[in-house]
């Protein structure tokens, strides 16, 4: 999810540089709804990335599909051998990307030196190969009315309260997870201050939410697995949501891109968990980059209260 969202500024630049162009995004099916009705995109092609990596017949069908689009330019921001080969065999005349993983199939490329640079800046550097336009700092995540109505009804049904602290305790990488008892302590801290606490996450993160609930004195409202991506965007944008506290994960980026306060925890034990490259990019967020066992509840709560006081 984060990989995709970090491309939005680059896509925005392409839209401004080529306003009459047709821009298509190839998106893994698991992220369906993440960028629905986005103003800088004309089309989203849903793919099964795992199947495409493993199946030659699936890659051939993918090539046929993009060949039918008669595209003039392919931008490969996440290098994969099969993607570089596919855009070449599909006959797309201009192909840009990073100079690795069969980068010789590209017509223009950059050395993949991303250390110390934010992923957004890396993607902007990539589209800089085909335009000198600068990003206007605009970020958009569309929220549809149906999802907003669903969230409104859900919050009323669950008697969720008017001031919500949202906690996302799960991550795809166990090394990025803060201990469930610490999330539970943070939950109790804000419940004592009159906030309601809500847990979110995909259905695959149910165990992480259950662990927090087991440690909690007063159980938070658990919405884990109950929101699809469209509804998650609507929920995190809802005016009742005051802040998100989360380990390094996709919802962090959804929240900060919708200008919600965020406290995000990054693990020094996990490869790629680095706020310099992957952190939020607005002033209304705070990040902690440390060994997860060293991140205290007091510090996280203090950062959250600082943001709440300024919002």
Domain ranges of the chain: 2-127, 145-310
| CA–CA gap between residue 228 and residue 109 (Å, rounded) | 36
Per-residue pLDDT reduced to its tens digit, 92-119: 999 999 999 999 999 999 997 666 889 9
Rounded Cα distance, 214 and 198, in Å = 14
Full-prediction pTM beyond 0.85?
yes
What pLDDT digit, counting tens, does each position of 149-184 carry?
999 999 999 999 999 999 999 998 989 999 999 999
Q: In sequence order, what are the residues at sequence separation of 6 or more whose Cβ sits closer than 8 angstroms to the Cβ of residue 142?
A: 35, 36, 37, 38, 39, 233
* pLDDT tens per residue across span 215-228: 999 999 999 999 99
- 148 vs 18: CA distance, rounded Å: 32
Q: How far apart are CA 283 and CA 15, in angstroms?
A: 26
Crossing angle of the two packed helices 229-237 and 145-157, in degrees rounded to 10? 70
The CB-based long-range contact list for 297-304 (8 Å cut-off, 24+ gap) reads 297/182, 297/185, 297/186, 297/189, 300/182, 300/186, 300/245, 300/263, 300/265, 301/186, 301/189, 301/190, 303/263, 304/165, 304/186, 304/190, 304/243, 304/245, 304/261, 304/263
In words, the CATH class of domain 2-127 is alpha beta
Q: What is the CATH number of domain 145-310?
A: 3.40.50.2000
The confidence score (pLDDT) of residue 116 equals: 80
The rounded distance, in Å, linking the Cα atoms of 288 and 266 is: 6
Instruction: Average pLDDT across each block of 10 residues of the chain; the chain has 311 residues. List them in order.
Output: 95 97 96 94 95 92 94 95 95 96 96 82 96 94 95 97 97 92 98 98 95 97 98 97 96 96 96 91 94 97 96 77
- The single-letter DSSP state of residue 249 is S
Q: Do domains 2-127 and 145-310 have the same CATH topology?
A: yes
| Of residues 165, 139, 136, the one with CA closest to residue 280 | 139
Query: 20 and 269 in contact (C-beta within 8 Å)?
Result: no
**What pLDDT, on a 0 to 100 scale, did the predictor assign at position 24?**
97
Contact in structure between 7 and 135 (CB atoms under 8 Å): no
Calpha distance 192→188 (Å, rounded):
6
Predicted pLDDT at 114 = 63
In angstroms, the CA 187 to CA 196 distance is 8
Q: What pLDDT does residue 271 have?
A: 87
Alpha-carbon span 198 to 204, nearest angstrom? 17
Residue whose C-alpha is closest to residue 39's, from 121, 151, 144: 144
């Amino acid at each position: 999810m984060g990989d995709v969202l970090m491309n939005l500024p680059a896509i925005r630049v392409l839209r401004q540089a080529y306003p009459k162009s047709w821009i298509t995004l190839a998106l893994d099916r698991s992220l369906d709804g993440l960028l629905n009705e986005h103003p800088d995109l004309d089309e989203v092609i849903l793919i099964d990335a795992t199947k495409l990596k493993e199946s030659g017949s699936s890659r051939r069908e993918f090539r046929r599909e993009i060949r039918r689009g008669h595209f003039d330019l392919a931008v490969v921001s996440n290098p994969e051998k099969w993607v570089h080969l596919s855009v070449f065999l599909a006959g797309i005349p201009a192909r840009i990307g990073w100079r690795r993983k069969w980068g010789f199939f590209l017509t223009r490329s950059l050395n993949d030196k991303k250390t110390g640079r934010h992923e957004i800046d890396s993607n902007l550097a990539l589209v800089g190969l085909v335009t000198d336009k600068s990003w206007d700092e605009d970020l958009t995540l569309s929220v549809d009315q149906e999802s907003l109505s669903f969230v409104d009804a859900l919050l009323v049904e669950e008697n969720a309260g008017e001031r919500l602290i949202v906690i996302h305790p799960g991550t795809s990488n166990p090394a990025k997870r803060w201990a469930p008892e610490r999330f539970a302590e943070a939950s109790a801290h804000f419940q004592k201050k009159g906030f309601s606490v809500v847990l979110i996450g995909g259905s695959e993160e149910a165990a992480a939410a259950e662990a927090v609930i087991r440690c909690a004195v007063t159980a938070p409202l658990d919405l884990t697995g109950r929101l699809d991506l469209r509804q998650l965007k609507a929920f995190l944008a809802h005016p009742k949501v005051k802040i998100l506290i989360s380990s390094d994960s996709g919802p962090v980026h959804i929240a900060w891109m919708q200008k919600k306060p965020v406290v995000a925890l990054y693990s020094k034990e996990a490869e790629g968990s680095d706020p310099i490259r992957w952190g939020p990019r607005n002033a209304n967020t705070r990040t902690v980059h440390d060994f997860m066992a060293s991140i205290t509840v007091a510090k996280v709560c203090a950062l959250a209260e600082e943001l709440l006081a300024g919002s």
